[in-house]
Structure 1
Amino acid sequence: MITMKEIAALAGVSRGTVDRVINNRGSVNPETEQRVRSIIEALNYQPNKAALALAAQKKRILIGVVLFSANHGNPFFRDVLAGARHQEKKLAAYGCRILLRETAFDPQAQIEAISQLEAEGIRGLVISPCNDPNLAAKLNSLREAGIPVITTNTDLPNSGRLAYVGSNYYEGGCTAGGLMGMITGGAANVGIVTGSDLILCHSGRVQGFLDTVSRRFPAVRVLDIQKNDDDDFKSYEAVSRLMNRFPELNALYFTAGGVYGGCRAVLEYKKDRAVQVISFDDVEKTKELVKSGVINATICQQPFRQGSRPVRLLFDYLTTGSAPSPAVQYTETAIKIRENIGP
């Protein structure tokens, strides 16, 4: 098996330079890095994982985690955080620790949170990003500084991220469109309540729904799209506006959080008309609404895995240089109804 010393000799560089390339530490001339990587690939160099893991124990591996606030928004992210904390415990013996920051749907707040984490010495970042060019530029600057980024739950194009872990949100929207057609017999007047245009997974679920009902269920008519920032109070107001403005409304589609608040408005109007409801995720309040029959079906996406998997992938990358494969790792989509929603 070829060694780092031999790679260094072939490339005409020091062992330290080879180590920086293998472990993605940055501070290497791009041409030199390409020369070293070409040799590594040609000779099929495989790092000694046991030795690297032992070395990791001797130094801190700080991984920053930036999520949308569960306490002031979508409780879904409590399960994402639980997954990240679970993985942190499993890797604690190797010196791995996560540093958490929670923000609203605010790109500037996310940029500031990342800068704080940089100052604290993170070596990698997990983030649920807003769809914003300034944030994408910030993530690219991390990559250039040798700090790999994995996006979770929602992706960000052109950000230089190492990998994405989360649902296929367009497919989730298509699934919701198919469900809506099935439960309404292919004819309905639908109000859509989404979180924010700044979040790709929200807009992707809207687009998937629109494309599916347009193609398969032409009698399913979308009346309006309202935004709620994943907030129950805003969601209550949004659904109330829809119900008042459109007396013909008989179906609702929630793409993200704020489901409980929106369904409170549904219950107030339910005596006047039947409303079919499709939502995402199985947070506690949503489970209760499925069990009580207010929500017909909810589409779930493995939030725990969306927290645990990115932390593990970053740890492996930082300690062995092993890049995630594939770079896009979709979680499973599950449809839950009253009969399988669980306790």
Structure 2
Amino acid sequence: MKKKPTIQMVAELAGVSRGTVDRVLNNRSHVRPDVHDRVMKAIRETGYLSPRQAYQTKLSEVSYSHIKLGVLLPNWTGHFKTEILRGIDAARSELEDFHVEIILKECKTDIPGEVIELLDELLDEEVQGIALCALNNPSIETHVSALNDNNIPVITLNSDLPESRRLCFIGQDYHKSGRIAAELLSKCIPVSGSILAAVGNLEFDGHRTRLEGFLDRMEEIGFRKDQIQVIETYNDYQTTFRKVTEALEQTSGICGIYMANRSVAGCTEAVNTLGMKDSLKIICHDISESTKRLLQNGSIDFTISQDIFRQGYLPMIYLRDYLQKGKLPESEETNTNISIICSQNIENS
């Protein structure tokens, strides 16, 4: 059997040290042109491959068919969009060598029919798997189940469609994060105090589930249902500002605000305008640059963050593994982390 070529064999044939061969292989300086030529000739004659070259050769020998993956996102902007797109771009770069193409579409409204229309457009573009963040609507869940029945796997991200037959969900345990928010707020206000809970859009499973977790834990702690006023603000700054202002003006005794809503600045602006900053405790979710500033200046007390980048990245990786390798994601890998951030640990977030 022919002996496998080694770096020592190359060095001996070229009449140089192993270190010189290594410098040539890694394109380092301080190698004379004639020595470089002798080493390259010895490499060709022996057929030697460096560990990196051997690995790349092994990868190239694995034949993967070209696949298209679709991503459909809601009409959200700001921190969510920035981080989700950063995760998708990271996955796109990583999967290029495996013949994976990623097609992105974004909704312009919160109308369920638009989601279904865009899903059909992705099918027309012959995608073989879809990552989706959408309203928790029966027609959308039925459509996703039909996609599964037609061998188009769907992974939900950030907000789930639990009654659909999706492959898995990538996101935070929102019920748990809502319970954590309740636990924090209950430590900051008297049990006799009133609370305002501002939710983004209850048609999104993530928003609704956060609220359910919050309400469940507050009831366990001893807060009555009539102590907690719920408003829906659709993640819109002006709507949030107006509804929070109205609630604070019309309801006396509010001493805590829970924001399951992306328009945190609309809430804090209402509080500041009414001169109530020092009399209210505010807890929210996620850690955008705006939220960091609000933590630093004391406008909010805590935020509960999640890894949105991974919610954009992981669905692409899992769909590729499923379609090209037949590998299902482990259930414990699908939940992203929960972190509690205050003014003193912003730098670690």
Quote the residue 1:302 is aligned against: 307
Q: CA offset at residue 97 of structure 1?
A: 2.2
Residues 192, 226 of structure 1: 8 Å contact kept? yes
Residues 235, 263 of structure 2: 8 Å contact kept? yes
| SS of alignment partner, residue 191 of structure 1 | strand
| SS of alignment partner, residue 254 of structure 2 | coil
Quote the residue 1:27 is aligned against: none
1:65 aligns with 2:63: no
Match of 1:54 among 43, 54, 62: 62
Structure 2 gap ranges (5+): 1-57
Residues 139, 159 of structure 1: 8 Å contact kept? yes
Partner Cα distance (1:181, 1:319) in 2: 48
Quote the residue 1:78 is aligned against: 82
| SS of alignment partner, residue 142 of structure 1 | helix
Q: CA offset at residue 77 of structure 1?
A: 2.9
1:281 aligns with 2:286: yes
Partner Cα distance (1:107, 1:272) in 2: 38
Quote the residue 1:164 is aligned against: 169
Quote the residue 1:100 is aligned against: 104
Match of 1:154 among 154, 159, 173: 159
Does 1 or 2 have the higher relative contact order (CA < 8 Å, sep 6+)? 1
Q: What are the Cα deviations for residues 216-262 of structure 1, in whole angstroms up to 9, with x where unaligned?
A: 14379634111111111111111111111113212111113111112
| SS of alignment partner, residue 227 of structure 2 | strand
> For residues 179 and 154 of structure 1, do their structure 2 counterparts lie closer, same or farther at Cα, with a shift above 3 Å needed?
same
Give 4+ residue runs of structure 1 displaced > 2 Å after superposition: 50-56, 185-188, 217-223, 270-273
What letter is aligned with 1:70?
W
| SS of alignment partner, residue 62 of structure 1 | strand
Match of 1:312 among 314, 317, 326: 317
Residues 72, 132 of structure 2: 8 Å contact kept? yes
Quote the residue 1:133 is aligned against: 138
Q: CA offset at residue 270 of structure 1?
A: 2.6
Partner Cα distance (2:184, 2:61) in 1: 47
Match of 1:123 among 128, 132, 150: 128
Quote the residue 1:258 is aligned against: 263
Identity across the alignment (%) = 27
Quote the residue 1:179 is aligned against: 184
Residues 167, 331 of structure 1: 8 Å contact kept? yes
Residues 87, 311 of structure 1: 8 Å contact kept? yes
Quote the residue 1:324 is aligned against: 329
Residues 188, 219 of structure 1: 8 Å contact kept? no
Residues 188, 221 of structure 1: 8 Å contact kept? no
Structure 1 gap ranges (5+): 1-49
- Higher Rg of the two aligned structures: 2
What letter is aligned with 1:190?
I
Partner Cα distance (2:137, 2:276) in 1: 42
TM superposition score normalised by structure 2: 0.78
Cα RMSD (Å) of the superposition? 2.1
TM superposition score normalised by structure 1: 0.79
Match of 1:269 among 271, 274, 291: 274
Partner Cα distance (1:129, 1:55) in 2: 34
Residues 112, 137 of structure 2: 8 Å contact kept? yes
Quote the residue 1:87 is aligned against: 91
Residue correspondences, number: 290
| SS of alignment partner, residue 112 of structure 1 | helix
